[in-house]
Structure 1
Amino acid sequence: MEPANGGISRYGIRFIERLNKLGIIVDTGHCGKQTTLDACRYSQTPVVASHTGVEAIFPHERCKSDEEILAIAGTGGVIGIFAMPWFVHSDPNHTTIDHVLDHMDYVVKLVGVDHVGIGTDWPMSDVMWALVYFKEHIAPKLGFAPGDGPSTETVAGLEKYSYFNNFTRGLVARGYSDGEIAKLMGGNWLRVFEQICG
Structure 2
Amino acid sequence: MSTIKMHSAKFALGAVLVAAMNVAVAQAPAAAETCASCHNDNGVTTDSSIPTIAGVGGFFLENQFAIFAEGARPCAADAFGDNAADDHCALVSGLSEDDRMALAEYYGEMSYAPFEQEFDAALAEQGASIHAESCDRCHTSSGTEPFDDAGILAGQPIPYLIEQFKHYKAAERWQPESMAEVMAPLDEDQMKALANFYAREGQ
Q: How high is the TM-score relative to the length of structure 2?
A: 0.31
| Structure with higher helix content | 2
TM-score by structure 1 length?
0.32
Tell me: higher relative CO, structure 1 or 2? Use CA pairs within 8 A at least 6 residues apart: 2
Q: Which has the higher strand share?
A: 1
